[in-house]
Amino acid sequence: MTRAVVLLSGGLDSATVLAVARREGRQILALSFDYGQRHVSELEAAREIARRFAVEEHVVFPLELSRFGGSALTAPDIAVPKDALEGGGIPATYVPARNTVFLSIALAYAEARSADEIWLGVNAIDYSGYPDCRPEFIDAFQQVILRGTRSGIEDGTPWIVAPLADLSKAEIIRCGIELGVDYSITRSCYDPDAAGRACGHCDSCLLRRRGFEDAGIEDPTIYR
């Protein structure tokens, strides 16, 4: 049986990735990060999603990225931009090197546990403009694996799988609905209130809301 580490944020994309990995028969090690994100309610969603998909193991890894600051997602003094999706450029919610750090720890986990693959929900169609969501970043990281790890040198694993890379948000949602994902438990908002209700105006909310509209599926998100 192929074993896969799946990066699970608790958002819409990673929940869909988990469902696809399950459909493909993978034995799943789910990995989430408690990195000082202001939207920490996504971790509760991640735990519930991992439970429903009966993963082999779910690790919530503590990571003090907020110690470095530099992002609206981890520094309380930087505001999350609202209604600014078409602004162009890399937004203030970009967390320095976040996906590089997440992939590297997924790699440590995968190699220590002899997992063959690392799955993650990056997507460069309907996305916020983060450089570490693009295919050229994923390709470069794969080269790091092939040259810098024992498993990469010995048998070319773990292999990075990014099943959503070429899908629109509407296509991702349709795919997940077919696979039984309950999107009402997923959390995408960067700036939820204390009860976990979405703001409806950050980039992530705007992309998610538009995705449901384009897919012709009712949006189950609870907005404040």
Please give the residue ranges that form the binding site for its own copies (CB under 8 A): 59, 61-65, 67-71, 90, 94-101, 103-105, 107-113, 131-132, 134, 136-137, 140-141, 143-153
Using the minimum distance from each CB to its own copies, give the nearer residue, 109 or 212: 109
CB of 38 to its own copies, least distance (A): 16
CB of 133 to its own copies, least distance (A): 9
Distance CA 61, CA 30 (A): 11
Using the minimum distance from each CB to its own copies, give the nearer residue, 61 or 223: 61
CB of 87 to its own copies, least distance (A): 15
- Concatenated DSSP letters of the chain: --EEEEE--SSHHHHHHHHHHHHTT-EEEEEEEES--S-THHHHHHHHHHHHTT-SEEEEEE--GGGT--STTT-TTSPPP-S-GGG-S--TTPPTTHHHHHHHHHHHHHHHTT-SEEE----SSSS---GGGSHHHHHHHHHHHHHHSHHHHHH--SEEE-TTTT--HHHHHHHHHHTT--GGG----SS--TT--B-S-SHHHHHHHHHHHHHT------B-
Q: What type of residue is 4? A: A
Using the minimum distance from each CB to its own copies, give the nearer residue, 164 or 173: 164
Using the minimum distance from each CB to its own copies, give the nearer residue, 29 or 215: 29
CB of 114 to its own copies, least distance (A): 9
CB of 154 to its own copies, least distance (A): 9
Q: For the chain, how long is the longest CA-to-CA vector? A: 51
- By residue count, the chain amounts to 224
Backbone φ and ψ for 155, nearest 5 degrees, come out as -145, 15
Using the minimum distance from each CB to its own copies, give the nearer residue, 105 or 179: 105
Using the minimum distance from each CB to its own copies, give the nearer residue, 150 or 195: 150
CB of 141 to its own copies, least distance (A): 5
